[in-house]
Structure 1
Amino acid sequence: MKKVYLLFLLFLPFLSQGQYSESIATARPGAANGAGTVGKGILQFQTGIQFDNLSDTSGWYVNNISEHLVVRFGIRERFEISAVMNHINSTEYLSASEESLVRQGLNTSLLRARTKINDNMALQVGIETRLRGKDYQIKYIAPRFRLMYNTNLGKNSSLTTNLGGVWNGNDSKPRGFYVFSYSLSLTNKLSLIAESYGDFIKSGINNYFDIGLGYNINKDMLIDLNGGWGENYPYKSYFITAGISYRMITKFRPEDMK
């Protein structure tokens, strides 16, 4: 934990450089976070709704419907803070002969900070709080970190790589994760992403895939649609999600930057 915050302090000198982009940039659609920040005085909302299913070979399965909200705010051009909340409605089916189990409530309440290292790289650190529904309580405040890197592959395409680790709040064992995300601009407003991502511990790795579309209604608003799947024996999973993102300039942005 101390090493994560030491790295964060080392990157503070990079906060003074410019970052505000012409069009809104979000972590939607897909699992990857780009190496960008929203810009000083910019308030950005990213919302979505998701349906997903997880099952195994025994006949057990669970259906989830969740609502997702991310609020991001730029403190400096290259430094932002954000909050993430996720509310879930979950129905678990143990077997055909048993009743289902229903759970609902907040299963994510995350506070984060992100800083740009250079034009292509950023570091994000976060704390998962205990502000959760009774069905999703954790014992401890749980840290996480993510390193993000963007690579331009041509005029209309790029590759985003994420690597990081998370703690679940119930034990001291971290879980690593990775994301490789390919993005292609189909038109000035429409973009396609294709991703491979997963998580890993000492005992093994789980891999997943997804494909999504993002459409810029204007430079400050984006809508998206995304779907993915994974087969990691004995489990199978899939999801579909849709969302909308919007940014606005607040009074905290200097006039010469608007």
Structure 2
Amino acid sequence: MKLFKTLILFFVSQTTLAQFHETIRTSRPGQAIEPFTVGKDILQFQQGLDYYSLADTKYPPHSFISNNVIRYGIIENIELSTLIDYQFEQTKLDTNSTYLSGLSNLHFGFRIHINDQKGWIPTTGFQVRLKVPKISNEFGSNQLATVMVLIANWNLPKNMSLGTNWILSYNGIDFYPTSKYILNFGFLIYKKWSGFIENYGQFRKNVFQTRFDGGFAYLINNNILLDISIGYGNNQNIQDYFISTGISWRIINFKKTIKK
């Protein structure tokens, strides 16, 4: 109990961190998430449409995922979040096609911004989400599962950045954890245009997989950002790829806005 109280006091005392940022900070595009929270009383939406398939396959499956993340800052350095994915999938064998659709992910969790960068000591954050089971007949898991992410980012010269995510997740089907990593290099292209390249991978039950992706983002204004990205992997003689596009937007002073 004393340890719990100490941790709460520590995080509350850090409310000078993760102050309101003039332009929107978002985890789109790419796989990596940033260590920052959205800021107190800011409601932020990150929405995208992803297309997945396999290459060099006679009957490749086609999968579309509507990805939605909702984030709300309860204090400057702590936020609550929800992940909602809806998936449509088509598989074909000869002349027979199978169609599946439904909720594929429903997560609830929080993120804490721990500290800002000091020299080579990175900006860090920590996120935990719980994966809700039995959300649809076609997709989802059988048991409650956790996804934990340790985040460490560095600001580099000339408007560049290096981001890392270190992830431990459970699928809710069995008790074998999956260890994941993400390495993200971000850079400014010109004025409101930015880009990134990533390498990310996972290790589970003695099987290692790695993939690469990259993309661009355009800042329409301080509160709205558009993005597009593509990714590719070649693991265990199977080639897969994806295309993703989306939008991130936020409402500042959300409580005041809904009272008007």
Equivalent position of 2:98 in the other structure: 101
Matches within 5 A, 1:172-251: 172-251=175-254
Kept after mapping to 2: 8 A contact 1:227/1:238:
yes
Kept after mapping to 2: 8 A contact 1:109/1:131:
no
Cα deviation, residue 14, structure 1: 5.3
Count of residues in correspondence between the two structures? 246
TM-score w.r.t. length of structure 2:
0.88
Cα deviation, residue 169, structure 1: 0.6
In structure 1, the residue corresponding to 2:152 is in which secondary structure?
strand
Gaps in structure 1 of 5+ consecutive residues: 254-258
Kept after mapping to 1: 8 A contact 2:17/2:115:
no
Larger CA deviation: 186-195 vs 132-141:
132-141
4+ aligned runs moved over 2 Å, structure 1: 8-15, 54-57, 250-253
1:73 and 2:72 matched: yes
In structure 2, the residue corresponding to 1:100 is in which secondary structure?
strand
In structure 2, the residue corresponding to 1:138 is in which secondary structure?
coil
Gaps in structure 2 of 5+ consecutive residues: 117-122
**Paired residue type of 1:207:** T
Instruction: Pick one of 111, 122, 135 that aligns with 2:108.
Output: 111
TM-score w.r.t. length of structure 1:
0.89
User: CA-to-partner distance for each residue in 1:202-245, whole Å, 9 max, x for gaps?
Assistant: 41211110111011000110000100110002321001011011
In structure 2, the residue corresponding to 1:29 is in which secondary structure?
coil
Shift of the 207–9 alpha-carbon distance from structure 1 to 2, 3 Å rule, reads farther
Cα deviation, residue 50, structure 1: 1.1
Cα deviation, residue 130, structure 1: 2.2
Over the aligned positions, Cα root-mean-square deviation in angstroms equals 2.2
Matches within 5 A, 1:1-258: 12-13=11-12, 15-19=14-18, 20-54=20-54, 59=58, 61-93=60-92, 95-96=93-94, 99-119=96-116, 120-130=123-133, 132-252=135-255
Kept after mapping to 1: 8 A contact 2:30/2:214:
yes
Aligned partners of 2:30, 2:129: CA distance in 1, in Å?
19
Cα deviation, residue 21, structure 1: 1.1
Counting aligned pairs with the same residue, the percent is 33
Aligned partners of 1:214, 1:176: CA distance in 2, in Å?
28
In structure 1, the residue corresponding to 2:242 is in which secondary structure?
strand
